[in-house]
Chain A
Amino acid sequence: METTLLARHAQPFASRREFLGTAGAATLALAPLPAFADSTIRLPLPGGPDERSITTAFPEKGALILQRTRPPLLETPFEVFDGSVFTPNDRFYVRWHWALVPTQVDITTFRLTVHGHVNQNLSLTLDDLRALPGVELAAINQCSGNSRGYFQPRVPGAQWSHGAMGNARWTGVRLMDVLDHAGVKAGAVQVRFNGMDEPVVPDAPDFMKSLAIDHVRDGEVMLAYGMNGAQLPLLNGFPLRLIVPGWYSTYWVKMLNDIEVLDRPDNNFWMATAYTIPDTPHASVRPGETGFKSVPISRMVPRSFITNIKAGDTLTLGASTLARGIAFGGDSGVSRVDFSSDGGKSWQQTELGKDEGKYSFRQWQTRFVVPSRGSQVLMVRCTSTSGETQPATPYWNPSGFMLNVIEQTPVVAA
């Protein structure tokens, strides 16, 4: 069976024109509202717009929040995170940069190419990869711009609530094992990763990301063909995805089919311009500030959420109430999670659930009694094993990256 990918590589320009033609024709005839909108949800983004559709129109996917149809941006509804520390594959969020996402992938013709500053180029089948020692790791995949919609002042970009993240058990092989077979030459600086997606406009920058050679040597960076015990959904990167534990998802290249070892720093658009953060403490600057140096985004920071109580819920005064949720340390584990039922005046340490590894969500829970009648604000705060904790007031940067302020859940005690 021939894949569309191979067909497109044979005739890239014809296929691009065909795609443009299809999109253009579609715009003439169709109704203004998505025909597949099953229901709507309100995301409490300050100043709005706050209404989104819930969609079930995407393959291998259940109900997700529709942020954009093409290229797909699909958010995990927050209630999913109350179910398990592992996010089901069919509810796992989706984010693509370019619209030419291959819709057919044939596992018999798929090849991963390894080339560049190596002793020997490789062209590997999935079975070749799976002959290497297998590894499994629980790790959170979080978009750099997760929760961007809560930045104030607001910033342009995908207006996510908190669901541009997920946690999975990834099955695959160590990147270093693959690179060792190719033989990395002395003088290698970075390793660049490219997937099968392509821009619609031919000279637009192909989406590629790079990691320092010392980072990929740490043995934790993986190539995953399994996600929570199944193959990856196509929209999450089938058949192979780079796993960069503790780092933002921008590096987790989907449909990975090309690895290039570089003897120079990668200055491509997606490293040098996009996905950069201020080189300041906490990547924070004042709104409107200019002239700061920028560096590529990298490791994640601690976050925590209440998952069983929603903003606006009514709690029974004087009753013992269960609060539970999830937390993560970023690029280290969860040391402790503290909970406040009085808007941050006092804190109580919560009980942590099973440790699935330092890169995983960790469940926490505690019981509390709402202190007084009327409006209260619940808060939860994670401290990582490296001693980093969430800030009480948000950091700000113009791209809306790395939000990790202590979340507030307003409730009413009655």
Chain B
Amino acid sequence: MLRQGLPLMFIAVSALSALAAHAEDRLLLKSVNVDLPIGDRMFEGPGSDVANNNCLACHSAGMVLFQPALSQAQWHAEVEKMRTAYKAPIDPKDVDTIVAYLVSIRGAK
């Protein structure tokens, strides 16, 4: 079993560390510490406050702004998916306001 083999493995690893030539053909892994951009793009225009307040905690605005023109029913389904499936803390009484804003910016004619 692997677990029983662990002490042996550690010995093998320390012994190998002396053999530089052998280490070279082995991929060297290094710890990583990075920063990720948070995303500064916002919803704009009349009615955008409700979208900025409800949507941006979980995701930045870009992907929403890149959606094709969607119907009122499609936008409603998207907002309800965020609320029910993805548990976004959206007050149910804000749903229609958010949908109306999304239809105003990316609504199907």
Contacts and interface: CB of A to CB of B under 8 A. Distances in A.
Interface of A: 1, 20, 22-24, 26-27, 30-36, 45, 47-49, 52, 57-60, 66-73, 99, 101, 103-108, 120, 122, 124, 126-128, 130-132, 149, 154-156, 158-159, 171, 178, 181-183, 199-201, 203-205, 225-226, 229-231, 234, 238-239, 269, 273-274
B39 A68 contact: yes
Task: Decide if the interface of chain B is mainly helix, strand, loop or mixed.
Answer: loop
A207 to B, nearest CB: 11
A99 B59 contact: yes
A101 B34 CA distance: 11
Contacts, number: 161
A155 B9 CA distance: 52
Nearest to B77: A156
Interface in B5-57: 5-6, 9-10, 12-13, 26-42, 44, 52, 56-57
19 contacts: A1-B31, A20-B57, A23-B56, A23-B57, A52-B66, A70-B38, A72-B36, A73-B63, A107-B30, A120-B3, A127-B9, A154-B68, A156-B78, A159-B67, A199-B58, A201-B86, A201-B89, A229-B27, A239-B29
Nearest to A29: B40
Residue of A34, A60, A274 with highest tally of chain B CB at under 10 A: A34
A103 B67 contact: no
A32 B32 contact: no
Contacts of A183: 1
Contacts of A131: 5, 9, 12-13
Interface in B50-109: 52, 56-60, 62-63, 65-70, 74, 78, 85-89
Given A24-B57, A99-B58, A231-B29, A57 B37 contact: yes
Contact of A69 (B26, B31, B60): B60
A67 B66 contact: yes
Task: Decide if the interface of chain A is mainly helix, strand, loop or mixed.
Answer: loop
